[in-house]
Amino acid sequence: MILPYKWRIIGGICLTLCVTMAIMSTRLATPDINPWVLLAYWGLFLVLLLTTLYTAILDFRYTRMRYKMTEREMFHDTFMTPEFRKAIEDAAREKAAPSKNDEN
């Protein structure tokens, strides 16, 4: 599995290459350029751009997953202690047991 910081590096490199290619495209815009070279150039640009978007989405989903995992862990650390479970069980038993005031 590729680590998240490597995703970010790959995305940053692809984005930098896309920007560089977009800036350098003005030098490529000559009337005597072969259409296949132009197609390959912009095809590579599109692949790099899609790779950048994919890594951004991947990083977003990973960050969201880590947030949920941390949230769940904090919930369990806070509310799933033995003392808290015992307090909940005691409250449930107290609520389930008929009180003396209800009999009258």
Tens digits of per-residue pLDDT, 43-87?
Answer: 999 999 999 999 999 999 999 999 999 999 988 888 778 888 888
Local confidence band at 5 (pLDDT 50, 70, 90 cut-offs): confident
Q: Nearest to residue 42, comparing CAs of 56, 22, 26, 23?
A: 22
pLDDT at 102 over 60: no
Burial of 55: CB neighbours in 10 Å, binned 0-12, 13-18, 19+: buried
Question: How far, in Å, CA of 20 to CA of 39, rounded?
Answer: 17
What is the SS3 assignment for 14? helix
pTM: 0.69
Q: Which amino acid is it at 71?
A: E
Query: Which are the contacts of 56, defined by CB distance < 8 A and separation ≥ 6?
Result: 11
